[in-house]
Amino acid sequence: MTIERVAIVGAGMAGLTAALALARRGIACDIIEQATRLEEVGAGLQVSPNASRVLAELGVLKTLEPVWNEPDHIALASGLSLRALANVPVGRFARERWRAPYGVLHRTTLQKALLSAVEKQPSCRLHLGARLDHPSLDAFTAITGHRPDLVIGADGVWSQVRTIMPQAPVPTFSGNIAWRLTIPSRKAPPAMKVNAVTAFMGPGAHLVCYPLKELDGYNVVAISTGLNPGQTWQAHASTRQHDLLMQQFSLWNPQIRELLSQARDATFWPLYEVERGRWHNDSTTVLIGDAAHAMMPFAAQGASMAIEDAARLAVHLGRPGPLPARLSAFEQERVARTDKVRNRGAFNRFAYHARGPVRLARDAVLSLRSPQSLAADLDWLYGYDACDP
Ligand SMILES: Cc1cc2nc3c(=O)[nH]c(=O)nc-3n(C[C@H](O)[C@H](O)[C@H](O)COP(=O)(O)OP(=O)(O)OC[C@H]3O[C@@H](n4cnc5c(N)ncnc54)[C@H](O)[C@@H]3O)c2cc1C
């Protein structure tokens, strides 16, 4: 079966990248997005070389390079002493080793760059302010005026499209929440470095910060145990939630505690994971991005996996053969890849949040690793080419 027209639900990283990748193969796309306009939701994103390679191929990278930061390295540091424990080089090193850059930017900057590229594609049509509550082929036809050959559910962790999929994966609350703060450069504590992504690690929690050009300051995300506020990207902290945050960081360095104590008005997200399940129904519908496999942000790979999914789905749909076989091949390949990334995230979670003797052993092992050997551990992740036919 030749795919000529698809409906994509969701104009996030997965949906917009899929539209661009499919348009290049001559497949027309209707993108259905509930938001009336794309505004600031979420926070900063680290875009690793496996994703920036896809963005380069789709012609989007050149609009990001002038507005993002390319840190020199990713630093792992103790949240208690602030001592640097290890560095993974990125910056020029990433461009040479993985043939693509490592950048940090605001999520909205990436979304807008993708959107502007989609708008230039005559075969892509965007339907903003169109929320889909009961997905069905008739519902898509009513919004777009066409019956799609395939529906792509790129509608995020609380996907509606997933609800019509037999044996679909289920989202569960991880028990962790992510706090988001921004700090103007002039107020940043000395531990925040302008040329690095820094991950501070401490018992039961970690905190990541990096400079964003858009803010003239730092994006800070603190991850620890917390109470579930329900399905939201942006909950406002209650006193109880903030007290819980301060408890989690009670043993941390005063510089970090001071920062967090001022975060009473900060927003936070509950961290949900989408576990294993079927991503397609053999005929009309397939899931990509967080709708299929939302993961904890311990490897900073959720958006990058969404971008990879989009590129790989376009490759598989461009191949000959029956559609169910192509969808199955896509799912099989992507489950293997995203499982591996998830495992890496679980390892990072164990290492970042370690306590007692495990923490001491971690610090000793990390101090012995050279930057090059830590980078070599990431070749399988950052060297991956999702556009490979
Ligand atoms: C704290 C934190 C830090 C992170 N840091 C990183 C990082 O550094 N690097 C990285 O790669 N990833 C990171 N991630 C993960 C990343 O943000 C997500 O994996 C990524 O945004 C998923 O993209 P998506 O397009 O699949 O879904 P989303 O970005 O959630 O987009 C889904 C879209 O679908 C729309 N939609 C939903 N339901 C409907 C409906 N019923 N009808 C119409 N439209 C609908 C939504 O409005 C939205 O626009 C982080 C996540 C968190 C929580």
Average of pLDDT values for 260-268? 80
Q: How many angstroms does the Cα of residue 207 sit away from the middle of ligand 1?
A: 20
For residue 68, what is the domain's CATH number? 3.50.50.60
**Atom 27 of ligand 1, nearest CA residue:** 156
H/E stretch holding 150: strand 150-153
Residue with the larger pLDDT of the pair 178 and 288: 288
- Comparing 8-12, 100-104, 243-247, which segment has the lowest mean pLDDT? 243-247
pLDDT score recorded for residue 229: 67
Instruction: Give the position, in ligand 1's atom list, of the atom nearest the Cα of 306.
Output: 26
Helix ranges (H only) for 124-261 are 137-144, 239-248, 254-261
Q: What is the count of structural domains for the chain?
A: 1
- Strands 267-274 and 235-236 turn out to be antiparallel
- Comparing 82-91, 326-335, 349-358, which segment has the lowest mean pLDDT? 349-358
Residues 181-226: tens digit of each pLDDT: 888 899 888 889 999 999 999 988 999 999 999 888 999 999 988 7
Classify residue 195: in a domain, yes or no. Answer: no
Domain extent for 79? 5-171+273-382
Classify residue 254: in a domain, yes or no. Answer: no
Q: Residue 72: phi, psi to the nearest 5? A: -75, -35
Q: Residue 9: phi, psi to the nearest 5? A: -100, 115
**Atom 50 of ligand 1, nearest CA residue:** 297
Measured CA to CA in angstroms, residue 360 lies from 78, 147, 298, 354 at distances of 10, 59, 20, 9
Pocket test for ligand 1, best of 13, 69, 114 (most atoms within 8 A of CB): 13
How many C-beta atoms lie closer than 10 Å to residue 376's C-beta? 12
pLDDT score recorded for residue 18: 98
Q: How many angstroms does the Cα of residue 13 sit away from the middle of ligand 1?
A: 7
Measured CA to CA in angstroms, residue 204 lies from 55, 73, 225, 269, 323 at distances of 35, 24, 8, 17, 45
**Atom 39 of ligand 1, nearest CA residue:** 155
- pLDDT interval class at 40 (50, 70, 90): low
Classify residue 183: in a domain, yes or no. Answer: no
What whole-number distance in Å separates Cα of residue 145 and Cα of residue 139? 10
**The one-letter amino acid at 382:** Y
pLDDT score recorded for residue 169: 92
* Ligand 1 pocket residues where CB is under 6 Å: 9-15, 32-35, 42, 45-46, 131-132, 154-156, 160, 178, 221, 269, 271, 289-290, 297, 300-304, 306
Classify residue 95: in a domain, yes or no. Answer: yes
Pocket test for ligand 1, best of 34, 38, 74, 134 (most atoms within 8 A of CB): 34
Pocket test for ligand 1, best of 39, 45, 164, 180 (most atoms within 8 A of CB): 45
pLDDT score recorded for residue 181: 87
What whole-number distance in Å separates Cα of residue 144 and Cα of residue 110? 25
Average of pLDDT values for 121-125? 96
What whole-number distance in Å separates Cα of residue 289 and Cα of residue 132? 18
Measured CA to CA in angstroms, residue 90 lies from 46, 96, 146, 147 at distances of 12, 9, 45, 45
Measured CA to CA in angstroms, residue 45 lies from 69, 185, 239, 363, 372 at distances of 11, 18, 28, 26, 24
What whole-number distance in Å separates Cα of residue 132 and Cα of residue 155? 10
Classify residue 367: in a domain, yes or no. Answer: yes
Classify residue 190: in a domain, yes or no. Answer: no
- Look at residue 381 and tell me whether its pLDDT is greater than 80: yes
Residue with the larger pLDDT of the pair 350 and 336: 336
**Which tokens hold the place of 46?**
């680290």
Classify residue 344: in a domain, yes or no. Answer: yes
- Comparing 16-25, 223-232, 341-350, 351-360, which segment has the lowest mean pLDDT? 223-232
Residue pair 44/21 in contact by the 8 Å Cβ criterion: no
Rounded to the nearest 5 degrees, what angle is found at the Cα of 210, between the Cα atoms of 68 and 48? 60
pLDDT score recorded for residue 250: 92
Residues 70-110: tens digit of each pLDDT: 999 999 999 999 999 999 999 999 999 999 999 999 999 99
Average of pLDDT values for 376-381? 97
Classify residue 159: in a domain, yes or no. Answer: yes
**Which tokens hold the place of 60?**
């989007």
Rounded to the nearest 5 degrees, what angle is found at the Cα of 271, between the Cα atoms of 268 and 272? 140
**Atom 35 of ligand 1, nearest CA residue:** 10
